[in-house]
C-alpha cells in the first residue's frame, strides 16, 4: 500500500473504517499496518505508547480478516485498532501503572473492558502512557500539536495517540479531569460516562466513589461505538448501574427534532480560567443564541466549596490506596504524590463521610437546571495546553462533574494560538444517550457554520 493510501486509512474514523472493512475496501491487516507505520514514524517524538506488539496486532488483524472472509458474524469493532491506558490490566501486555515500582507487572487476566473490546473484535495495539498511578506525576508523552506542551493527564498517551492519528480509539479513565482535560488539550473527543456506566474490574483503583472509565476518538459516533462495546453489566463492580442501556451509537446518529436547550454554567473555577479561554468560550456560546435556547445559569448555594469536596474524597482515597506503596518505596514515588498522600491522611473520617454525603445533596440541588435544560455548556479546561512537561494542567473545570457522577464530553470546537481547546457538555446522570446526541448535533452544526 502506497503512502497516499496509508494516509487515507489513518484519517478514517472508526465508524468509517468499520463500514469500509465490511464493504471489502481494504483489510484489517492493511488498516492496522498503516497505524503501526504511523507509530513507528511519530512516536519517537510523541511518546504516547508504553508498549506495542506489532506482530501480535498484525496476526490478530489477519485472523479478523480470515473470519470476515469466511462469512462469520463480526463484532462492532471487528478489525479496528484500539489503545488501552496502562492502568487497565491486559494479559498480553504488562500493566505498569506509570511507575517504576511496577515495571514488568504482568496481569494474569484482562480487565473486563479489555475482554469486552476483544469480544467486539477490536485489535489491541498496545498500552498507552499514563501519569504516575493515574495522578499528577507526568509521563514522557508530548502534545502532538506542539511537542513542547503537555498533552494533559492522566490519560496522556491515549489522548495524544488518537490526536496524532496513531490509533482511532483509546481507553482512558477519570477521577477528576483525566479524560476531559487531555481531550481539550489534544483536540479530540473525550467522553466520561455516568459514574458506574462501565465496569472497573481489573483497573487499578484510585478512588472508588469517583473512578470512571471512558475513552477518546475523533468523532462522537466513534465514542458511542466504543462505549456500546464496553458497557455490559459486570457483577464484580458493585457501583455499576443496573438496567438496560440505550444504544449510544443510535442516539449519536439520530437527527434532533429541535435544537437543544443549553445552560451556560461557569462554575467556581471560572475566575481561574485564562482570558483567552473565557473570551473564546463566551464568543462560542453567543454564536448559538437565536438558534438554540441558551441561558446562563448560576449554580445553587453550596457549590462554592465543591472543588474542595471532590479533593477530600480523592485525596483521602489516594492516601488509603497509595500510602502503603509510597511507604514501601519512598525513593520511587514523586514528591507531589507524597504531598497528596500527606494531605489526604490529614482529613478525618468524618470529613470524608461528609464529602460523600454532599455528593447527593449537591446533585439534588442541581436538578432544576437539569430539568429545564438538555445539557450544561461549560469550559473543558483553564486554557490551551500549558508549555512544559513538568505538569499536566489543572482539573478544576472537570472535578466537580466527576464528583457528581455526571456524564461529560469534550468537543474540539475552539482554537487559541493555533492550539486546540475543548468545549465541555455535561448531562444528567444516566442521560448519556441524550448527551451524545446533543454533542453530535453540535459538531454538525459547528461544521455547517464553519
The CA angle 309-216-118, to the nearest 5 degrees, is 115
H/E segment holding residue 375: strand 375-379
Dihedral angle over CA of 405, 411, 416, 419, nearest 10: 100
Report the candidate in 158, 151, 413, 396 with the shortest Cα–Cα distance to residue 270.
396
The reply to whether omega before 154 is within 30° of 0 (cis) is yes
Is the CB of residue 432 less than 8 Å from the CB of residue 407?
yes
Given the residues 156, 178, 229, 394, the one annotated as active site: 178
Q: State yes or no: is 178 an active-site residue.
A: yes
Contacting residues for 180 by C-beta, under 8 A, at least 6 apart = 174, 190, 192, 380, 381, 397, 398, 408, 409, 410, 422, 424
Dihedral angle over CA of 42, 46, 47, 53, nearest 10: -30
Whole-angstrom CA distances from 357 to 143, 239, 316, 403 are 38, 16, 15, 11
Given the residues 28, 99, 154, 156, the one annotated as active site: 154
Q: State yes or no: is 351 an active-site residue.
A: no
Detail the DSSP E strand segments found in 200-292: 212-217, 261-264
Strands laid side by side in the 123-128 sheet: 49-52, 123-128, 81-85, 169-174, 212-217, 189-192, 408-416, 419-426, 375-379, 261-264, 293-296
The alpha-carbon radius of gyration of the chain (Å, integer) is: 21
Given the residues 28, 85, 229, 410, the one annotated as active site: 85
Can you tell me which residue has the cell 473486563? 112
Residues with catalytic roles: 85, 154, 178
Amino acid at each position: 500500500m502506497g503512502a497516499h493510501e496509508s494516509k487515507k486509512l489513518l484519517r478514517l474514523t472508526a465508524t468509517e473504517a468499520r463500514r469500509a472493512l465490511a464493504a471489502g475496501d481494504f483489510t484489517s491487516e492493511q488498516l492496522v499496518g498503516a497505524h503501526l507505520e504511523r507509530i513507528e514514524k511519530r512516536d519517537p517524538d510523541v511518546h504516547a505508547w508504553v508498549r506495542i506488539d506489532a506482530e501480535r496486532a498484525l496476526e490478530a488483524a489477519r485472523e479478523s480478516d480470515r473470519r470476515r472472509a469466511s462469512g462469520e458474524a463480526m463484532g462492532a469493532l471487528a478489525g479496528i485498532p484500539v489503545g488501552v491506558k496502562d492502568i487497565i490490566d491486559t494479559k498480553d501486555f504488562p500493566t505498569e501503572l506509570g511507575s517504576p515500582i511496577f515495571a514488568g507487572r504482568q496481569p494474569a487476566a484482562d480487565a473486563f473492558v479489555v475482554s469486552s473490546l476483544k469480544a467486539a473484535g477490536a485489535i489491541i495495539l498496545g498500552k498507552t502512557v499514563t501519569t504516575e498511578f493515574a495522578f499528577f506525576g507526568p509521563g514522557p508523552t508530548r502534545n502532538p500539536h506542539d511537542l513542547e506542551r503537555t498533552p494533559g493527564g492522566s490519560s496522556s498517551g491515549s489522548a495524544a495517540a488518537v490526536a496524532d492519528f496513531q490509533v482511532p480509539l483509546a481507553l482512558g479513565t477519570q477521577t477528576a479531569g483525566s479524560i476531559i482535560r487531555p481531550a481539550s488539550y489534544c483536540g479530540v473527543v473525550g467522553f466520561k460516562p455516568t459514574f458506574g456506566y462501565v465496569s472497573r474490574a481489573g483497573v487499578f483503583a484510585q478512588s472508588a466513589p469517583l473512578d470512571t472509565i471512558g475513552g477518546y476518538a475523533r468523532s462522537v459516533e466513534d465514542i458511542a461505538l466504543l462505549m456500546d462495546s464496553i458497557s455490559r453489566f459486570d457483577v464484580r463492580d458493585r457501583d455499576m448501574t443496573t438496567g438496560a442501556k440505550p444504544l449510544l451509537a443510535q442516539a449519536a446518529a439520530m437527527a434532533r427534532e429541535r435544537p437543544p436547550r443549553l445552560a451556560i454554567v461557569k462554575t467556581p473555577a471560572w475566575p481561574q480560567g485564562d482570558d483567552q479561554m473565557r473570551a473564546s468560550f463566551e464568543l462560542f456560546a453567543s454564536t448559538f443564541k437565536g438558534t438554540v435556547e441558551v441561558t446562563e445559569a448560576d449554580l445553587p448555594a453550596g457549590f462554592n466549596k465543591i472543588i474542595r469536596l471532590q479533593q477530600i474524597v480523592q485525596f483521602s482515597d489516594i492516601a488509603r490506596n497509595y500510602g502503603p506503596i509510597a511507604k514501601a518505596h519512598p525513593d520511587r514515588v514523586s514528591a507531589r504524590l507524597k504531598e497528596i498522600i500527606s494531605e489526604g491522611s490529614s482529613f478525618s473520617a468524618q470529613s470524608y463521610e461528609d464529602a460523600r454525603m454532599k455528593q447527593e445533596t449537591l446533585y439534588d440541588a442541581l436538578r432544576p437546571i437539569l430539568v429545564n435544560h438538555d445539557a450544561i455548556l461549560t469550559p473543558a479546561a483553564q486554557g490551551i495546553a500549558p508549555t512544559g512537561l513538568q505538569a499536566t494542567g489543572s482539573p478544576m473545570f472537570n472535578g466537580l462533574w466527576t464528583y457528581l457522577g455526571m456524564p461529560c464530553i469534550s468537543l474540539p470546537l475552539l482554537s487559541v494560538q493555533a492550539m486546540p481547546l475543548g468545549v465541555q457538555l455535561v448531562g444528567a446522570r444516566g442521560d448519556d444517550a441524550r448527551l451524545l446526541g446533543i454533542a453530535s448535533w453540535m459538531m454538525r452544526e459547528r461544521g455547517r457554520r464553519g
